[in-house]
Structure 1
Amino acid sequence: MSKSWRELTIAFAGIVLATKQVAQLAKTGYLKTDEFETSVRSLFERNPVSTEATYGSGHNLAEAFEELEKLLNNHRDPRNADLLRYVLGVLHLQKKLIKRKEMLYVIGNRLEKAETQAQHFGITHDNVISNIAEIYTDTLSKFPYRIQVTGEATYLQQTRVASQIRVLLLAAIRSATLWRQLGGSRWQLLLYRNQMAKHAHELYLEFKR
């Protein structure tokens, strides 16, 4: 596997990891603590030594690699509709965000403060999650286009769930930024979908627990 394809697939798996949790939260009100921590921590990795280091380890993305392979091979499956919509929505928002330098500055500055708070309280403490969720609300939520999250109203109306979803969407956008920095594009997904699926499968076999 070429280094570039490996890194592109790892970064895209980061998008899938976060959006998969959004779909799960919206429908069940539940998420896996270790996966949530991986996505949140990626927000604070501004200068990682490698693409993999953004997520701590490739092992933390094992299920995301598997999910990415399924999504690429079965993108027309109705069961993947919400996840695909969230992924495409994240790519669209990220493309809008990258043109707004002042908004990027605000997000970066406030994430630095959130990181200091996380060092004191813990990375997934309610105060930290609420703080990061407000960053999303004050910036990305201002765009005319918004990602419509669908699920059970019982869960979506809960403050905790709403905050976690916003944090995960921000984490997904962070991964989308990394993916584009590595050379990722929508055309690449259309033209080389099978190739990325193949690399996702290889990475899953490498890192499965």
Structure 2
Amino acid sequence: MIKTLSNQVIALAGLSQAVYLVQHIAKRGTADREDLEASIGSVLKIDSDDVLDVYGGLHRVMTGLRQIERQLGGPDVVDPEQARYASTLIFLERKLMKQPRMLETIHSGVQKAAAQAEERGVLNEDVLATLAETYQQTLSQLKPRVMVAGEQIYVSDPENAEKIRSLLLAGIRSVVLWRQCGGSRWRLLFLRPKLQKEAHQLLESLSRT
């Protein structure tokens, strides 16, 4: 992956979009279908060497870019819940990278889901079930667990639960991508204005197309 600020922001947008969708499903029981398809589809692109290709184009992470622009602003506009989900996934990715067996399990699970998606589509229930099971066998075993807050009627629904777990896997995929593009915690802490400006410019480029 090319290590540029732009690519880092796009990967962070992928992470932000995933956690935003997790929050939306947990609290409202629904999420935008195109955003869902882009986020969950990114998990299946394990061998891509182009950041935009992972998501299917910049327009597919527009929601994430909007969230990033907001989240990197002042404390009065930050959504603490989304920030908690994202920071937990960033922390878990470091732990995951030290677990070769878990990485193998994820790889085989994703390959199975990708084959299913080829036949039935990214948001097919079998694809989501495979990704959700893969998440449960791996990331959910690591501490701290991602504790998703929401309305019980929505989070206890099996279909929503599978979408949430699949999206958390998508979040991890974006964290891996972010690191491959040169992202790090210190850059996130000390380059916030630059990252926010880049997110704004990417959004502006989308508005001109």
Judge same fold: TM > 0.5, yes or no. yes
Runs of 4+ in structure 1 deviating by more than 2 angstroms, as ranges, are 76-79
Q: 1:84-95 residue pairs with structure 2 within 5 A?
A: 84-95=83-94
State the identity %. 34
Deviation of 1:63 (Å): 2.2
Match of 2:68 in 1: 68
Structure 1, unpaired ranges of 5+: none
For 1:5 and 1:18, how far apart are their aligned partners in 2? Answer: 20
For 2:77 and 2:29, how far apart are their aligned partners in 1? Answer: 21
For 1:66 and 1:79, how far apart are their aligned partners in 2? Answer: 12
For 2:174 and 2:134, how far apart are their aligned partners in 1? Answer: 16
Match of 2:5 in 1: 5
> What is the CA deviation profile of residues 23-69 of structure 1, one whole-angstrom value per residue up to 9, with x for unaligned ones?
11111001000000001111111222411111000011122111101
For 2:78 and 2:52, how far apart are their aligned partners in 1? Answer: 28
SS in 1 for 2:9: helix
Match of 1:160 in 2: 159
Which range moved further: 156-165 or 119-128?
Answer: 119-128
Q: What is the root-mean-square deviation of aligned Cα atoms in Å?
A: 1.5
| Residues 149 and 77 of structure 1, relative CA distance in 2, 3 Å threshold | farther
Match of 1:177 in 2: 176
SS in 1 for 2:46: coil
**TM-score, length basis structure 2:** 0.95
Match of 2:54 in 1: 54
Deviation of 1:11 (Å): 0.7
* Contact 1:27 1:155 survives alignment (8 Å): yes
Q: Kindly tell me the number of residue pairs found equivalent between the two proteins.
A: 207
* Contact 1:72 1:197 survives alignment (8 Å): yes
Match of 1:19 in 2: 19
For 1:25 and 1:79, how far apart are their aligned partners in 2? Answer: 19
Structure 2, unpaired ranges of 5+: none
